[in-house]
Structure 1
Amino acid sequence: MTVTFDPKVYKQTTRAQWEDAAEAWHRWGPTIEDWLGDATAAMLDAAGIGAGDRVLDVAAGAGGQTVAAARLAGPSGHVLATDISPAILGYAARLAAEAGVSTVDTLEADGEDLSGLDEGSFDAAISRVGLIYFPDQQAALGGIHRALRPGGRFSAVVYSTPDRNGFFSIPVGIIRRRAELPPPAPGQPGPFSLGGPGVAEQAFTTAGFHDITVDVVPSPVRLPTAADCVRFERESFGALHQMLSSLDEAGRAAAWQEITDQLTQFEAPTGFAGPCEMLVVTGTR
């Protein structure tokens, strides 16, 4: 049976999954910031955020990188955090308030449709593991390009290739096999959709960006045990829940057990270190 990809249904499902996972993504915030800290720092540096800048954060999630960007922009700057999920934006706003940062606003918005933003109104733009999940990445990139002033930079964190990201590609492979899902076709959204050699550079070039750079950032997921990593993924990775949706409860339980068994290969006396490699892709309008 051939399954036709429907981007409208996909986005509706994605929004629902992140509405459900928002609390968990917020709760796992310290783990996420430890895992993505180096890549986030590289992204913010590449975007060139400085005092007084207006920053657009696309697919902002629970706002860890939003707050970091706001601190760089300082009290005279401003960060607009957008996301398709209002629930997760609520946690971003809460995180900013708890951090004493008053220069963050949130906007529920589809990252593929940023037409409501004034052209050239931002000095910099960022997106942390969000762009990869857009069905129409060119629409998203085009909207970000339009929202930037000339000379403004956009920097995104994306996964590299599956072989460099065992902590995630192993669960994806197991679920795909058990749920009898076809491999994603070229151009379809997914965690590794921009990871192949030259893929991200071409996407940015097509959208009109220039001076494109790609930096590789090792980003191992460090937790006490493989079971902790599975709990992290099980509670907060919306993409995996979306893939599991066709399985019944017993099928989902069996999939998670196999994932746990496979991820134990990354345990050592010092704890669990799940292989992960991020790319920081940056372009200038």
Structure 2
Amino acid sequence: MEQQLEEIREQQKASWNKFSPGWKKWDALMMEFLKPMGDEIIGVLNLQPTDTVLDIAAGTGEPGLTIATKVPKGKVILTDLSEDMLAIAHENALSRNISNIETRACDVCELPFEDNTFDAISCRFGFMFFPDMLLAAKEMARVLKPGGRIATAVWNGPEKNFWVTAAMGTINRNMQLPPPPPGAPGMFRCAQDGFMADLFKQAGLQNTQQTEVTGKLNSQTADNYWTMMTEVAAPIVAALSKADEAMKAKIKTEVYEALQQQYPDGKVCIDSSAWVIFAEK
């Protein structure tokens, strides 16, 4: 099993590094889309000015960079598997004159920090992709100080996230893709109501709370939606790479038709739903 987890980790690292230019290109749109979930995480963490905070699966820097502005006498360490994503986060910090941050490429299942180091931990949309979610939660609990707070965001079910299913659902209808193994990393792996709260309890955390947070992906046009999803969404790119040109064209046409049906005025602003789960050590 260890070797299998190692392989998944290396594949994910390569994938996120590969897609980092797309994330940089679409950063403004994606960060606006994900802001409500980051704001909820920041709100429930009840940050103090001197806190030392760990932001896991930081990607291009949020919500860690905003957290850094809330802890002016503390600091934030942003971690991610992908060095290339963290390089973008570092650039974003410089452009916003945020200096109380560090970036550290590492695996959540082997955090390179001492026990009881952090006052708070944030993790926005990372858990669904961790090969061993319980081990990740236990590692977070280990590096959290007694009484420390943790908050994470994970996607709700597909029926509430048309921004994913408009493309992925169309692909699945048209292509015979092998189903992922049960429990494999994926967008909706943590969607079940109470799933993350149970995981946190298993990791020894307590006082769990769960809140549904909605958002909107304001891609404005079908063209923007299609281009963005094919430049940042690894599962979509992987699936389309197995299709011939005719099939790709058919899928693209059907995605545009689905968007046209949902947004007949052409203003593509797609609802999303996520869970934000809070716990304490």
Pairwise same-fold verdict (TM > 0.5)? yes
Does 2:145 match 1:149? yes
State the match for 1:96 in structure 2: 93
Does 2:197 match 1:237? no
- Evaluate the alpha carbon distance shift between residue 176 and residue 111 of structure 1 in structure 2; reply closer, same or farther with a 3 A threshold: farther
State the match for 1:274 in structure 2: 270
Check whether the contact 1:126–1:154 (CA below 8 A) recurs between aligned residues: yes
State the match for 2:23 in structure 1: 25
State the match for 2:82 in structure 1: 85
Cα shift readout 1:88-140 (whole Å, capped 9, x = no counterpart): 100001101111011111111112221x2111100000111111111211111
Q: Which moved more, 1:196-205 or 1:178-187?
A: 178-187
State the match for 1:43 in structure 2: 41
- Evaluate the alpha carbon distance shift between residue 188 and residue 89 of structure 1 in structure 2; reply closer, same or farther with a 3 A threshold: same
Q: Secondary structure at the match of 1:52?
A: coil
State the match for 1:170 in structure 2: 166
Check whether the contact 1:66–1:81 (CA below 8 A) recurs between aligned residues: yes
User: 1:250, 1:158 → 2: CA distance?
Assistant: 35
Cα shift readout 1:34-55 (whole Å, capped 9, x = no counterpart): 2111111001111222201111
State the match for 2:197 in structure 1: 201
Cα shift readout 1:220-270 (whole Å, capped 9, x = no counterpart): 211211221121111112333244444455544543443333233332437
Equivalent residue letter for 1:260: Y
Residue identity (%): 27
Q: Secondary structure at the match of 2:79?
A: strand
Check whether the contact 1:120–1:146 (CA below 8 A) recurs between aligned residues: yes
Choose which of 109, 112, 116 in structure 2 pairs with 1:112. 109
Check whether the contact 1:14–1:242 (CA below 8 A) recurs between aligned residues: no
- Evaluate the alpha carbon distance shift between residue 253 and residue 142 of structure 1 in structure 2; reply closer, same or farther with a 3 A threshold: farther
Q: Secondary structure at the match of 2:34?
A: helix
Q: Which runs of 5+ in 2 are unaligned?
A: none
Q: Which moved more, 1:167-176 or 1:125-134?
A: 167-176
Does 2:180 match 1:187? no
User: 1:53, 1:246 → 2: CA distance?
Assistant: 47
Give RMSD over aligned pairs: 2.0
- Evaluate the alpha carbon distance shift between residue 243 and residue 156 of structure 1 in structure 2; reply closer, same or farther with a 3 A threshold: farther
Equivalent residue letter for 2:46: G
Give, in angstroms, the shift of residue 214 of structure 1. Answer: 0.9
Q: Secondary structure at the match of 2:275?
A: strand
- Evaluate the alpha carbon distance shift between residue 231 and residue 160 of structure 1 in structure 2; reply closer, same or farther with a 3 A threshold: same
Equivalences, count: 279
Q: Which moved more, 1:227-236 or 1:253-262?
A: 253-262
Scaled by the length of structure 1, what TM-score is found?
Answer: 0.90
Check whether the contact 2:120–2:150 (CA below 8 A) recurs between aligned residues: yes
- Evaluate the alpha carbon distance shift between residue 97 and residue 188 of structure 1 in structure 2; reply closer, same or farther with a 3 A threshold: same
State the match for 2:123 in structure 1: 127
Q: Which runs of 5+ in 1 are unaligned?
A: 1-5
Equivalent residue letter for 1:12: E
Q: Secondary structure at the match of 2:77?
A: strand
Check whether the contact 2:117–2:143 (CA below 8 A) recurs between aligned residues: yes
Check whether the contact 2:221–2:266 (CA below 8 A) recurs between aligned residues: no
Check whether the contact 2:55–2:122 (CA below 8 A) recurs between aligned residues: yes
Q: Which moved more, 1:76-85 or 1:259-268?
A: 259-268
Check whether the contact 1:167–1:263 (CA below 8 A) recurs between aligned residues: no
Equivalent residue letter for 1:18: W
State the match for 1:3 in structure 2: none
For 1:48-87, what aligned pairs fall within 5 Å after superposition? 48-74=46-72, 76-87=73-84
Scaled by the length of structure 2, what TM-score is found?
Answer: 0.92
Does 2:256 match 1:260? yes
